[in-house]
Structure 1
Amino acid sequence: MANTAELRSDTAPFLDVSSPDFSIRSEEVIAAREASWYAKTPYGIAILRYSEMSRLIPSRKLRQGSYAWPAHNNATGTFADWWMRMLLSQEGAEHGRLRAMAAPAFAPELITSLKPKFEALANELIDAFEQDGRCEFMEAFAEPYAARVVLTLIDLPHDNWREFADIAVEMGLALGVTYKQDMDRINAATDRMFHYARQVIAERRSKPLGADFLSSLIRAQDGGANPLTEQEVYDMVVLTIFGGIDTTRNQLGLAMDTFVRHPEQWALLRQRPELASAAVEEVMRYRPTVTWVTREAVDDFEFQGLHIPKGCTIHMFSQSAGSDPRVHENSGFDITAERTRRHFGFGGGIHHCLGHFIARGDMTEALAILSRRVLNPRFDGEPSYLPDSGNTGPIQMPIAFDRAAG
């Protein structure tokens, strides 16, 4: 990994993203964005503005940057092996093959067909706490909804959703600074997740294939000029479960957090439920769970007068770019705003999130139903949060609310 000192400019601001107190929404970051389009960090550079991020994120001069995370931590075992094999860590022709073969499983038509199930699930969860007029939102709604949406997608019973959620949390320790010391727990959880992946594929193969997610993956193994291998099918199932639970849970929590702080927008959503889809996009621009994406330079190149050496790590601050006043005259939270620039909540370029149709579909249904049944939500105690950088979200969020009449 190249270090910022190798860059030819030393006039840019410095942001210590390694500090436990660092916040990507801080005044420090806003000031840095006003001073420069990039900042130096202990791990390469950070891109702060929308225009530069929109040009760099699809650049073929960069590759996905987190592939080397296990190696940076001297980590080994099942998680590290999977991390290096999976779609997100591949580039070039191999990435294109995996993405093309897996894409039919994430088709928008499939997600549309599942929306009634998402709606029923949201109503079922709200039924359990509505009469109380309060709940711990992450435990009562965000986490079970995220986990059970994934189980719906892969057609598994919902009885053991908690186990899947807990496995995802254990695997997620690999993305933190304690990866090495938690390696045994992480690998054990990954082994359990692969056990389930093999089990669900074997069970699905025992029946006639249909138009569902797993059938699409199995067809991608059985046909085509460049089919998926058996291992690649398992890898894709594990990625879908792990990624789907963690990111949806956090993004729903951040959505509720944002609406609690903007009650007029929540009231507007209840009056105009057709805005639910726009609300998802606005939340992901304003308060994304993935606050930056990482790339790595594959060779030396120049960008806007800056020399970027081969191997330099480039953190693209989607949170900062999404609120950049240079492209958003009104960068505040507004679900009615007609945004002409897309947000980076699902990444961009060839590594744009393959599961974005699923995330958009399930969150749209959740917000529409929550706004109809959970009125005037407010904090009912102090929320707690993951660090406000990298992948973030609420840990706990107690809320109180008014029940809808009737």
Structure 2
Amino acid sequence: MPVNLSAPDPASLHPVPGVRLGITQAGIRKADRRDLSVIVLDEGASVAGVFTKNRFCAAPVQICREHLAAGAAVRAILVNTGNANAGTGADGLARAHQSCEALAALLNIQPQQVLPFSTGVIMETLPVDRIIKGLPAAIAALRPDAWDEAALGIMTTDTIPKAASTQVQIGGVTVTLTGISKGAGMIRPNMATMLGYVATDANINPALLQALVTEAADASFNRITIDGDTSTNDSFVLIATHQAKHARIESLSSAEGQVLRAALIEVSQRLAQAIVRDGEGATKFITVQIDGGRNEAECKLAAYAIAHSPLVKTAFFASDPNLGRILAAVGYAGIDDLDQTLIDLHLDDVHVVRAGGRHPDYREEDGQRVMKQSEISVRVNLNRGAASATVWTCDLSHDYVTINADYRS
């Protein structure tokens, strides 16, 4: 069961003018499962994205990068689940290209205007014939208010769909941002998420989109980890249709640019945190906050050392306040000149460590009280500067092993 996360209310997901979504069952891996999604964009839309830093990246990631770098005006996004089309070599690239060509022909656009995405099992041949056969049904289902169905259609081991939406005022005009994401395991994105898409009708200079999507990813999807693994297929895409009737945003530092930036980060963080809450086998949602660093980079080192540690994560699952594991993780994080005598540690409201040693008022029953909660915050102060960083993670349970042991069955 996901940690304090419920399926989104379809009525809360605002349609984005200029975006239509269609979902169908193509039988890519399993029958009777929504596994093929098409997102069609009106002419004039702009797209930017960030992708996995895993050097063994999937065929669709390679093609997305190629199409975006070529400057093609993206008109469609194609997503299949059940098969990652990764580790498939030249054949995988050819099949991904074939899927783009088929969708382009049906939409009367160019193949370079299609961005393909795949998620699922690695090193298996993409059943492109099933994708092509399913495309007409997906196109026939296109409508602007299908965000909830699209969230369902991109799931793999997720137990619940993930979507978020908000509206803000820019220049006296209502601007919409709506997005979906998927992911539950193999999550330490190092760029974005397994798959994530956010669309807005904001009228923004297209040249600003890449910086905006990168900043949003760094503030959200790049701050989560479930198991420390970076997928071959991680992708996060920002779509702007420019259809809102306000003056065009020409600078992200302008008042209007800051409103849009804040709204995008809010939606992205909601989607990213939903992935952690639905982590494979997760029973607890954990916020790790590091303060008092000399720079953000060393704060992130300490935060991820805690969030990745199997010993820390299993202690949280067991509600065992074996909090020396947290200190050990900070110690091996890679901050070479760290002074352990300056470190403070809080577990929610409980002051566990002061000046590098056990706080004289700390009682184990207080630590255990916090550890039994479904939502927990870990705060470490390095007391060596003014920088800070926050990472979101979950515990590591028996079910995580079971899910991944049976993943291909």
What TM-score range do you get, normalising by the shorter chain? Answer: under 0.3
TM-score scaled by length of structure 2? 0.23
Q: Which one has a larger percent strand, Structure 1 or Structure 2?
A: 2
Which structure has more relative contact order (CA 8 Å, sep 6+)? It is 1
Q: Which one has a larger percent helix, Structure 1 or Structure 2?
A: 1
TM-score scaled by length of structure 1? 0.23
